Amino acid sequence: TRPAGRFFHIVSGLCAPLTLADFEAINLCKRPLPENFNFAGDVLDQWSQKEKTGERPANPALWWVNGKGDEVKWSFGELGSLSRKAANVLTKSCGLERGDRVAVVLPRIPEWWLVNVACMRAGLVFIPGTTQLTAKDMLYRLQASKAKCVVASEEVIPAVEAIASECPHLKAKLQVSPHSRQGWLSLQELLQAASEEHSCVETASQEPMVIYFTSGTTGSPKMALHSHSSIGIGFTITGRYLLDLKSSDVIWSTSDTGWIKAALCAFFTPWLYGACVFVHRMSQFDTDIFLDTLSTYPITTLCSTPTVYRMLVQKDLKRYKFKKLQHCVTGGEPLNPEVLEQWKTQTGLDLHEAYGQTETGVICASGRGDKIKPGSMGKPVPPQDVQIIDENGHTLPPGKEGDIAVRLTSTRPFYLFSKYEDNPEKTAAVMRGNFYLTGDRGVMDSDGYFWFVGRADDVIITSGYRIGPFEVENALMEHPAVVETAVVSSPDPVRGEVVKAFVVLSAPFKSSYPEELILELQAHVKKSTAPYKYPRKVEFVQQLPKTPTGKIKRDLLRDREWGRT
Ligand code: BCO
């Protein structure tokens, strides 16, 4: 049999580990996808070897700080041995088997990286989630995914406790906490006693590796399933084209651990190139801490959402001298040209925009070395064949607005998500002919640059979050003041757009003080579902616009918000 992730050289008759050049060729579809691939064994362990032989600079693989003086630095070797122990904790102490699902809901702490690597080693499917998830969110996720284990920190343990009894598949709860708690295993304690001996599972390249919950217009969030190769190899060209990473780089990506952006810029892509992943714990976003961090640490590459850059350019950036910063990247929501210009004027650095989503990874970008067209999200990142198409699945010429779509070859490319788990209807609904539909509208210009126009559906993109109106409407409807509601996007100078709720009040609440009631409704949503979804704007109305069949016309409300006729 052929070892995982190795190419059999017909001429020499030898098996050789895959190199970075191999991964680039595979990502570009110039070489076939190997039958087996496991990022831990085929990438991380290779860097560990290179550390031993001095083929990699001495910077850490993971460099974590919390701003309170605590620091963790792991080499690839240390990450390797600790994650082997963690793999034993998951399989032996938690009793998990290959293919089992593990919800990993941790803030930016080293254990998040450790547990994810351990899951890969053991062939477990991990499910990242933001620590903003409420008990109701956790219940839905654990039930829908049939997760057998949850790994949680203090922030989410109470939410898990509240609903664990309703999750029949859940058999192990692993906490990352200094306190002991009945019914919970302690990761830290078990790591102390765990063996370092563990053989990495030879996962198939297309075997499930991770599930992300992602919002749509209707229904609850869907489970976007990715394989070991889709993210593990499929991000390689992004690392070269957009991030331009080298093993001497130190990259700081500020995304929450629950989003694919963390996987993209703070996990797989940097480690494919042997770079150092820098992490600041920062439980609450703070521009001063942010700028001090860039001035204190030798961060070469920064990746953050446009909202963060919008917040940063409000400060006098010329007061700061960034230690090593050379390359700045942004994505997750549209970047306005003014911010790009202000960032360049104040720091002397370009801002490279990337466009993508949980299902696809990065598909367009203004790569390093590319001409940046302010307001454009750049050109397709190879091998992605991004097109603007019409409602019949025909490509449209430059200058014509249509649906942004990715052309698929006869077989589904390995670098795309595999499917929405347990949801063949939704999986089919995002296909039109041989195109995958992003759900976004856009235009391509004659130079092949793409320009974002807006969502084709009712999904709201705010501060880099993708929010389904249905989830917010559901939360609002639980409140006795709300008879009916419609949630749409509304423009915002800092967050790009924000969630706005139009609310029809029930009779007893019609005489309430509006300001107080708005605060009450906002607080209610923050308790019912992840707080980032709360409506930052609320308007009370007598009635909602509807079609003759009674369907709420969200598009009309949205157009009114954006001043469109
Ligand atoms: O703004 P408010 O203070 O009114 O409300 C905030 C929080 O204070 C509040 N909150 C948080 N935890 C809470 C809570 N309230 C009650 N109880 C709790 N436990 O809820 C609101 C949360 O809003 P936020 O997350 O936007 O917070 P903040 O501090 O304004 O952060 C700003 C950003 C920009 C740092 C944040 O919005 C952010 O990190 N955005 C980026 C999201 C992201 O990474 N997206 C990438 C998705 S993946 C992708 O795009 C694919 C690309 C290939």
Write down the pTM of the prediction.
0.95
Instruction: Compute the residue count for the chain.
Output: 565
What is the pLDDT at residue 369? 87
Alpha helices (H) in 123-263, listed in sequence order:
135-145, 157-163, 187-193, 228-232, 236-241, 260-263
Q: What is the C-alpha separation between 300 and 415, in angstroms, rounded?
A: 27
Produce one character per residue of 241-256: b if its CB has 16 or more CB atoms within 10 Å, e if not.
bbbbbebebbbbbbbb
**Confidence at residue 6, expressed as pLDDT on a 0 to 100 scale:** 53
The answer to whether the CB of 155 is under 6 A from ligand 1 is no
Mean pLDDT of 106-121: 98
Give Cα separations from 98 to 123, 195, 230, 309 (angstroms): 5, 19, 19, 41
Nearest CA owner, ligand 1 atom 9: 531
How far, in Å, CA of 186 to CA of 96, rounded? 16
Instruction: Give the tens place of pLDDT for each residue, 215-251.
Output: 988 889 999 999 999 999 999 999 999 999 999 999 9
pLDDT value for 7 = 52
- Ligand 1 within 6 A of 529 CB? no
> Considering the chain, what percentage of its residues have pLDDT values greater than 70?
97
Number of H helices and E strands in the chain, helices first, is 19, 29
DSSP conformation letters of 470-529: HHHHHHHHTSTTEEEEEEEEEEETTTEEEEEEEEEEPGGGTTS-HHHHHHHHHHHHHHHS
255 lines ligand 1 (CB under 6 A): yes
Please state, as a whole number, how many other Cβ atoms lie within 10 Å of the Cβ of residue 407.
Answer: 17
> Which ligand 1 atom lies nearest to the CA of residue 308?
34
Choosing from 526, 528, 534 the residue with most ligand 1 atoms within 8 A of its CB, the one to mutate for a pocket test is: 526
The finding on whether 465 has its CB within 6 A of some atom of ligand 1 is yes
Q: What is the model's pLDDT at position 311?
A: 97
Q: Is the CB of 501 within 6 Å of ligand 1? A: no
Ligand 1 centroid to Cα of residue 532, in Å, is 5
Q: Give this complex's ipTM.
A: 0.96
The span from the CA of 125 to the CA of 207, in Å, is 9
Answer yes or no: are the C-beta atoms of 276 and 302 closer than 8 Å.
no
pLDDT higher than 50, residue 1: no
Residue 10 pLDDT exceeds 80: no
Between CA 355 and CA 332 the distance in angstroms is 7
Q: Is the pLDDT of residue 565 over 80?
A: no
Segment 122-138, tens digit of pLDDT: 999 999 999 999 999 99
Residue recorded with tokens 């001298």:
321
Whether residue 367 contacts residue 242, with contact meaning beta carbons closer than 8 Å, is answered with yes
Give the number of other CB atoms < 10 A from CB of residue 283. Answer: 12
Confidence of residue 9 (pLDDT cuts 50, 70, 90): very low
| DSSP symbol at 98 | T
What is the atom index within ligand 1 of the atom nearest the CA of 264? 53
- 317-362 tens-digit pLDDT: 999 999 999 999 999 999 999 999 999 999 999 999 999 999 999 9
Please say whether the beta carbons of 91 and 97 come within 8 A.
Answer: yes
